[in-house]
């Protein structure tokens, strides 16, 4: 049976990347499972997940800036809540990431981090994770 859990987080800005790598790594470590596949899933429609560089915060700022060019913030969208850009950006980023686990550690590259991508904050959010072993 796979191990599962939830990581709770709070976002502070309308658009931001929140590094959740340490929380996911701790959850994996706490399972005691040495090898498997960790799937991280975001159940929110105005936020996404991505794996990208975590050493230089300018990369995160550049991604957010590029998304705002790709998705026009002032387009006459018809969604009544007024947060269509957040829904579109979330779709572009995706709702899940998968990371191999070996010797109880996430097998991320040297500069890689797992980011929760907020596009409609500030909010209380959560991500779910599942560690599958084979």
Q: Model confidence over 112-131: pLDDT tens digits?
A: 999 999 999 999 999 999 99
CA–CA gap between residue 5 and residue 130 (Å, rounded): 7
CATH fold for domain 3-132: Jelly Rolls (2.60.120)
Q: Give yes or no for a contact between 93 and 10, defined as CB atoms under 8 angstroms apart.
A: no
pTM above 0.85, yes or no: yes
CA–CA gap between residue 49 and residue 90 (Å, rounded): 8
Q: Using CA atoms of 31, 32, 34, 40 in order, give the dihedral in degrees to the nearest 10.
A: 10
Q: Where are the domains of the chain?
A: 3-132
35-92, pLDDT tens digit by residue? 999 999 999 999 999 999 999 999 999 999 999 999 998 899 999 999 999 999 999 9
* Token representation of residue 55: 């050493």
């Amino acid at each position: 049976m796979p191990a599962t859990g939830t990581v709770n987080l709070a976002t502070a800005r309308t658009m931001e990347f929140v590094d959740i790598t340490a929380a996911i790594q701790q959850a994996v470590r706490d399972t005691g499972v040495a090898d498997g596949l960790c799937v991280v899933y975001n159940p929110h429609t105005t936020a996404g997940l991505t794996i990208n560089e975590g050493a230089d915060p300018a990369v995160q700022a550049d991604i957010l800036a590029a998304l705002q060019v790709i998705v026009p913030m002032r387009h006459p969208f018809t969604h009544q809540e007024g947060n269509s850009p957040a829904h579109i950006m979330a779709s572009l980023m995706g709702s899940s990431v998968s990371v191999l686990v070996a010797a109880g550690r996430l097998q991320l590259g040297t500069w890689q981090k797992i980011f929760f991508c907020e596009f409609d904050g500030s909010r209380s959010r959560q991500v779910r994770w599942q560690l599958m072993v084979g």
